[in-house]
Each structure stands twice: as C-alpha cells, then as structure tokens.
C-alpha cells in the first residue's frame, strides 16, 4: 500500500522585490527545499516555483506525510569490556543496550580491524511531516541571499524587502511557520489594486486559479508568454512588429502581476536618432518595447506593459507618452551637442580620463591597443593590408565615445562602442572603421556573437587581452563568483573570437606583449610579469576547457589536451575535437594506446623531471630497445608530417604513436628498464622520455581516465 502524501504549498509574501532578484531567489528556494526534504527523509514528487514582484512561491507535489524510519548501526564498547570471562554482560553492555532502548540479547558481537566490538541495530521512527516542515521552511527563508537586503521596524531579520505574509499548507493543513514575527496561515493576497481583501486557500491545488481570479498570474513562465503574445498582438494591430528583447521581456515579467499591453506614440522627428539609441532609451529608462516595420526600421511607437487590466488604459497611455518624450529629447540634445566635436577630435581629451588607477589613461590604453593590433596583423595570415589600416584606426578611436554626453547618461552607457560607431560615421570615418568600433566589446554575453569583421576581431581581441593583462598584473583576478571587472567574460571572448576566426596565435607571446605594454606600476598588490602571464595562460585555458565541454569533449580528455603544451588555442581546440572523435569511434583502440603510453609516462616522468636525460641511439644494443627506438623514429617522422602545415591532420598524428603500442608492450616485457648499469639505465629512461615527449605533442596520457582504473 502506498504511503499517504499531500502537496506542500509555501508562499512568502513581500513588498515589491527588484525584478533581477526574483529568479535567483526562486532557484535558491528550489534547492533549499529539495535538499531539506532529502535531509529530512521526506519523499516527494515534482518541485515547481512561481514568482511575482510580491511573492516567492514553491509547490512540492506528493510530499510524504511521515518521515522514513531511520535504521542505523551503532558501534558500542569492545566485546572484552561488554562481557566477562563467563560471557555474562557487564554494566558497559547493559548501559549501552539501555541507552539504545534495546535488551542485551539484541546486541551483536562482530570482529573489526581493531578487534571484537558490540553493535546495535537502532531504528529511529519517522516523525510526522507537519512536525518536521516548520523548521525546514523557516531555515529556508533565513538562508535566502540577495544582492541587497534591508531591515524593517525594530527587527534584526534581513530580507530583500519586508515580508508581509506567509502561506504554508501541507494538503489542507496549515504548516506552523514563524518568521520575522509573522505566523503562517492559509491566506494570500491578490493584485494590489484589483483585488479586495485576503484570499483563503483550502489546499494547494487551487492556489494558481484563485490568484488568477484575483488578477495575479503567479506562474512567471505563463506571465512571460502572455507579455510576448499581448505585446505582439498590440504591435500588429498598430501596423508594426514588436521588437521583443528576451532579457527585457523577462525583466518586465517580474515587474508586473497581471500584464496588459498598450501602444504609445512619440514624435516622429526622434526617428532621426540612431535606432540603438531610441531602443535603449525606451528599454533602459522605461522598459518599453520598440515597434518596427517588416524591414526592421523603427516606427514612432512603443509597447508598454501595464500591471493591471484595461480600465483607464487611455489615461495610462497618455502618461507613458508624456514620460518618453523628454527622454528622447535628452538623447536628441546629447547627439546635437556631441557632434559639435567630431569623434577624432575627442582623442586628446582621453588623456584626462583614468583607465584603471596606476595603469594610465584611456589615451594610453588606445596606444596599447594600436600596438597589439599591429602585432596581431603580423601573426595572422588572413589579415589583408586594408584590414590592418582600418583596425589600427578603429583602435585609436575606440574609446573616444566614452567622454560623450550620450554615454555619460548611465541608462545609455551600455551603448558604448555602438555610439562610437555612429559618431565615427557622422564624422566621415570609413564604414569598416565604424563597424570595428561598434564590434569592439563583442561578444558581450554567452548568447552574443563574436565580431563579424576582421578589423572588429582585431580591435576586440586587443581590447580584451589588454584588460585581462592590466587587471591580473595588479592582482585583480576573479575570486569565487566575484568578477567585478568582467574578466571571465573578456577571457571567454578571446577564446571565442580566436576559434570563430580560426586564427593561430602564439598565446604566450600574446600575453607577454600585453603585459609588456603596461606602464610601470607601484600598486602594492602588483605581481611579477612572469607570474601574471602564467595565471592568464591558465585562466584562458580554463575558458577553452568550458568551450570544449559544450562540444561534448569529456573533462579528462579536455584536461589531457590542455595539460600538454598549448601555445595555440585553435590547435588545442581542433586537437581535442579530433581526439574526441577518435575515442568515440573506437574506444578500445584508444584505451590500448593510452595504456601503453601511460606505462611509458609512469616510469619516466620522475627521472625526466630530476635528471638531464640524453638519448644516445648508438648505445642501444638490446634488440627490443632497438626495435622500440626504430618504432619511435618512424612515429616521430609521421607525427611531424601530420602536424606540419596550416591544416594539421590529427587523425594521422594519432595513428603515428598508435603504431608504437606493440613495440612498447614488448619492450616492457623483455627489457629491464632499471638496469644495474647506470649508463644503460639512463639511456633507456631517455628513450622512454623521448616517447613521452612525442605523445605530449597531442595530450598528457596521465590525465585520461580509463574505465575500471582507480
């Protein structure tokens, strides 16, 4: 017979939580309750979370009404102390049994590695879920973290916003929870303006429907879909198409509980502004959605999402129209004032703008970017002379928009680069230069694409490596989840640009160039260049490892490839993908090669690190060591041939050392590596070291995990 269950409903009612904080809080609540129920030995079914600006809710289906009994084995005193010479129980045995609620006859004597001990099988009966859940839910609330918290009244308790009510039900029963002097009940509240009074919830299954009757769409997934559908319908009715940015849709969904779309108008003269500026003014300042023609050009319209129904919608529309006009007028003023000074004429003023304390001005940074761009052009075969000219010019002008009125508006600051591109066009710069300026910060997120133009790639790479080098040089590397200077994003951008462009760049030289260009720094946290270079190299390889993970490369294979010398990110990437395919196509053959090579690595790595091993081929006398040397020579020549040229053949490169497996196995079976004669021993170790070095051209075999091995 199935154990009885009931659904658990827990709602934290609050003042309006900032939109970006809701989803992270729901994810925490999900984990806290899932882990807490497991720890409390309460089986359950599906876990669902729901969030609005005024509530954080979790519903757990089919929660067991009683804990599972806990059976455990408890070790007692040694048998010699528990029983006398005649086998009678002593006070130690009697006391141990009584303490566990057992008789002496229930005890068991068992041998351990420390001798004979007595053991007891103890069962702790499960408690009712209603007795267990209050502490679990109270602990979950106290464990929630937010970027910013507040206190209210005379309480020491902190939360994102003041908590106003608690709803906690297990089936039809109230779970007694007390937090911040509030006691849980079966009551929730509907829309702040469209609902009258408290709403009693009889049991969890009616929660969503009763809230919807009270003009609250509690399911944020459904609310987001409603926003998209209603915004699209409103735009279509107005003769256009809604430009629905997914991030903005998500943000708006956590600003309303009952979404209604409305269309507003603005003066068509503002369409003379750059489209990016118009869209950002609407989204950044007012959280409006732009409306466009089928060809992508903007219409003098916007979509706003109202937190309520259609009552008085015309009044709300007029209010929104009055608000957006001054914002667009500000942008129009910025553009007019900014263009009084052509973009190139702003360059000298960058000398008065500090980049990072102790690392010069933005003007100094642009000079470093130019130097890095010229170095990259010499490294990369695909760069044409025109690309070099445009990239160098774009690097020189790349930061000139940072001292404009437009970027000085904090709501428009994210347009840096794109505003620079527009101003470059209006200042008469070539389109290639403008595009590169606009692409310098890409990719700005995991969903964003790398720059599409060669000059844009060059400038973006230069900007990112300079930024990473500058921060690492003065000890500003990321710690844990904290990355205030967005270094992980910059490093991931470097990796993605190189892979997307398929450029072969000497990574150590690239890093040292960027570090060497930095000014002398007296910062107390500054570290030596060599140390910074090693940290940056490791940091970039970690980003490449993450990229390989998305391509289905196993963690052990990724680490094996990256543990081998990896001066070229593209080479390491291509090599890892090729070895992934080789491994998946014939796992047994792959493991055979790894195991043979691992025997070699295991015996030679220690001596190779401590001794200067030099192989003397003429001194090899025993037939099997000679045979191994000949196989090594053939494999080396084949591998060098496979890796030569602009497009290495990694399958052929892998086949080369694979051909040595038989000779390696025979060598270890027939030859004593650690011979008494020192010269013979060292020469054999040198042969194995040479073979290991050959394999390290592809991967570090010691990082590969073979199934069944410890």
Residue 455 belongs to some domain of the structure: yes
**Mean pLDDT, rounded, for 309-330:** 95
Residue 559 lies in a domain: no
Examine the pLDDT at 378 and tell me if it is beyond 50: yes
Cβ partners under 8 Å of residue 39, min gap 6: none
Domain match, 492 and 637 both: no
Task: Report yes or no: 547 and 580 within 8 Å, Cβ to Cβ.
Answer: no
Q: Residue 670: in which H helix or E strand, if any?
A: helix 661-670
406 and 502 co-located in one domain: yes
Task: Summarize pLDDT for 395-423 with one digit per residue, the tens.
Answer: 999 999 999 999 999 999 999 999 999 99
- Which of 321, 338, 355 is the endpoint of a domain? 338
Does residue 457 sit in the same domain as residue 379?
yes
Query: What pLDDT shows up at residue 631?
Result: 94
- What is the rounded distance in angstroms from the CA atom of residue 362 to the CA atom of residue 354? 6
Q: What are phi and psi of 326, to 5 degrees?
A: -65, -35
Same domain, yes or no, for 180 and 266? no
Q: What is the pLDDT of residue 355?
A: 92
- Is a pLDDT exceeding 90 seen at residue 97? no
pLDDT of residue 710: 43
Separation in Å, CA 87 to CA 79, 80, 121, 448, 577? 10, 9, 21, 77, 68
- Give percent above pLDDT 90 in the chain: 80
Q: Is residue 709 included in any domain, yes or no?
A: no
Structure-model confidence comparison of residues 489 and 381, the more confident one: 489
Q: Is position 710 within any domain?
A: no
Tell me what the mean pLDDT of segment 365-370 comes to: 96
Neighbours of 625 (CB within 10 A): 22
Cβ contacts of residue 436 below 8 Å, gap of 6+?
390, 391, 394, 398, 451, 453, 455, 456, 458, 459
Is the Cβ–Cβ distance between 42 and 132 less than 8 Å? yes
Average pLDDT taken over every residue of the chain: 93
Query: Do 401 and 269 belong to one domain?
Result: no
State how many domains the chain has.
5
Mean pLDDT for the stretch of residues 76-102 = 84
Q: Are both 390 and 463 inside the same structural domain?
A: yes
Quick one: DSSP state of residue 417? T
Residue 706 is predicted with a pLDDT of 82
DSSP 537-591: HHHHHHHHHHHHHHTT--HHHHHHHHHS--S-HHHHHHHHHHHHHHHHH-HHHHH
What's the pLDDT at 82?
A: 84
CA trace torsion 595, 598, 602, 607 (10° rounding) = 150
d(CA 63, CA 54): 26
pLDDT tens profile 505-563: 999 999 999 999 999 877 778 899 999 999 999 999 999 999 999 999 999 999 999 99
Instruction: Tell me if 708 is assigned to some domain.
Output: no
Q: Residue 11 belongs to a domain with what CATH number?
A: 3.30.70
Residues 229 and 307 in one domain: yes
Of the pLDDT bands very low, low, confident and very high (cuts 50, 70, 90), residue 696 is very high
**Is it the case that residue 585 has pLDDT exceeding 50?**
yes
Q: What is the mean pLDDT of residues 112-135?
A: 87
Q: Per DSSP, what are the bridge partners of residue 122?
A: 72
pLDDT in tens, 7-24: 999 999 999 999 999 999
Pair (499, 596) in one structural domain? no
Residue 707 pLDDT exceeds 80: no
Q: What's the pLDDT score for residue 611?
A: 87
Structure-token match 């009074």, residue found: 197
283/368 same-domain check: no
Domain ranges, residue 295: 220-338
Residues in Cβ contact with 462 at an 8 Å cutoff, skipping those fewer than 6 apart: 368, 369, 372, 373, 376, 395
Rg (Cα) of the chain, in Å, rounded? 34
Question: Does residue 263 lie within any of the structural domains?
Answer: yes
pLDDT exceeds 80 at position 382: no
Q: Are residues 162 and 309 in the same domain?
A: no
In a domain, 562, yes or no: no
Residue 418 placed within a domain: yes
Task: Report pLDDT for 418.
Answer: 96
Phi, psi of 539 (to 5 degrees): -65, -45
Residue 639, number of CB atoms within 10 A of its CB: 21
402 and 543 share a domain? yes
Tell me, yes or no, if the pTM score tops 0.85: no
Q: Are 485 and 363 part of one and the same domain?
A: yes
Select from 338, 370, 385 the last residue of a domain.
338
The whole-number average pLDDT for the span 446-464 is 95
Per-residue confidence at 121, pLDDT binned at 50, 70, 90? Answer: confident
- Looking at the DSSP bridge assignments, the partners of residue 119 are 75, 108
- Contact 334/405 with Cβ under 8 angstroms? yes
Q: Where is the domain boundary, 519, 550, 581? A: 550
What DSSP assignment string belongs to 236-300? HHTTSEEE--HHHHHHHHTT-SSEEEEEEE--GGGGGS-HHHHHHIIIIIH-PEEEE-TTSPEEE
The pLDDT of residue 708 is: 53
* Percentage above 70 pLDDT, the chain: 99
């Amino acid at each position: 017979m199935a154990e009885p269950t009931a659904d658990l409903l827990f709602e934290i009612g609050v003042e309006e939580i900032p939109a970006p904080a809701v989803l992270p809080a729901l994810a925490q609540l999900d984990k806290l309750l899932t882990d807490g129920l497991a720890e409390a030995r309460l089986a359950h079914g599906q876990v669902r979370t729901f969030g609005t600006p005024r509530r954080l809710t979790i519903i757990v289906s089919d929660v067991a009404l009683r804990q599972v009994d806990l059976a455990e084995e408890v070790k007692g005193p040694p048998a010699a102390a528990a029983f006398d010479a005649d086998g009678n129980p002593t006070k130690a045995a009697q006391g141990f049994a009584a303490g566990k609620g057992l008789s002496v006859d229930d005890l068991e004597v068992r041998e351990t590695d420390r001798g004979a001990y007595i053991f007891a099988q103890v069962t702790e009966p499960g408690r009712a879920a209603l007795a267990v859940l209050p502490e679990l839910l109270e602990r979950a609330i106290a464990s929630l973290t937010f970027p910013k918290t507040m206190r209210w009244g005379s309480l020491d308790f902190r939360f994102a916003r003041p908590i106003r009510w608690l709803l906690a039900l297990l089936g039809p029963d109230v779970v007694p929870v007390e937090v911040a002097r509030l006691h849980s009940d079966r009551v929730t509240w509907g829309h702040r303006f469209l609902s009258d009074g408290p709403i009693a919830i009889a049991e969890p299954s009616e929660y969503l429907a009763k809230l919807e009757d009270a003009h609250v769409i509690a399911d944020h997934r459904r609310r987001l879909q409603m926003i998209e559908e209603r915004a699209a319908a409103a735009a279509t009715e107005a003769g256009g198409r809604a430009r629905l940015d997914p991030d903005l849709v998500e943000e708006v969904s956590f600003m309303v509980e009952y979404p209604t779309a409305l269309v507003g108008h603005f003066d068509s003269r503002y369409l003379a502004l750059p489209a990016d500026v118009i869209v950002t003014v609407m989204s950044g300042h007012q959280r409006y959605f732009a409306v466009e023609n089928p060809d992508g050009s903007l219409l003098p319209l916007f979509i706003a999402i109202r937190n309520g129904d259609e009552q008085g919608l015309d009044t709300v529309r007029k209010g929104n129209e009055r608000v957006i006009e001054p914002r667009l007028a500000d942008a129009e003023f910025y553009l007019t004032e900014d263009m009084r000074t052509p973009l190139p004429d702003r360059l000298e003023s960058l000398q008065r703008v500090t980049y990072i304390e102790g690392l010069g001005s933005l003007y100094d940074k642009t000079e470093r970017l130019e130097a890095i761009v010229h170095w990259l052009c010499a490294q990369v075969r695909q760069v044409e002379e025109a690309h070099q000219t445009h990239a160098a010019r774009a690097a020189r002008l790349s930061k000139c928009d940072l001292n404009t009125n437009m970027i000085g508006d904090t709501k428009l600051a994210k347009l840096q680069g794109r505003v620079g591109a527009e101003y470059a066009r209006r200042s008469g710069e070539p389109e290639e230069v403008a595009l590169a300026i606009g692409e310098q910060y890409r990719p700005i997120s995991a969903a964003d694409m790398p720059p599409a133009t060669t000059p844009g790639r060059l400038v973006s790479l230069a900007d990112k490596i300079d930024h990473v080098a500058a921060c690492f040089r003065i000890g500003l590397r990321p710690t844990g989840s904290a990355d205030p200077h967005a270094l992980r994003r910059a490093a991931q951008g470097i990796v993605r640009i190189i892979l997307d462009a398929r450029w072969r760049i000497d990574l150590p030289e690239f890093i040292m160039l960027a570090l060497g260009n930095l000014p002398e720094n007296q910062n107390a946290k500054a570290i030596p260049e060599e140390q910074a270079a090693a940290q940056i190299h490791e940091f970039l390889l970690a980003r490449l490892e993450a990229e390989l993970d998305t391509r289905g490369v196993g963690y052990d294979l990724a680490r094996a490839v990256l543990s081998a010398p990896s001066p070229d990110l593209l080479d390491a990437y291509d090599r890892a993908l090729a070895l992934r395919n080789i491994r998946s196509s014939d796992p047994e053959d792959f493991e055979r090669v790894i195991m043979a090579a691992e025997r070699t690595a295991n015996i030679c790595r220690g001596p190779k690190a401590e001794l200067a091993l030099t192989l003397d081929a003429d001194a090899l006398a025993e037939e099997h060591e000679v045979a191994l040397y000949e196989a090594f020579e053939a494999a080396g020549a084949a591998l060098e041939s496979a890796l030569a040229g602009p497009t290495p053949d990694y399958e052929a490169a892998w086949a080369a050392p694979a051909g040595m497996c038989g000779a390696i196995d025979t060598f270890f079976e027939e030859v004593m590596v650690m011979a008494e004669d020192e010269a013979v021993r060292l020469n054999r170790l040198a042969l194995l070291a040479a073979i290991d070095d050959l394999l390290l051209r592809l991967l570090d075999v010691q990082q590969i995990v073979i199934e069944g091995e410890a």
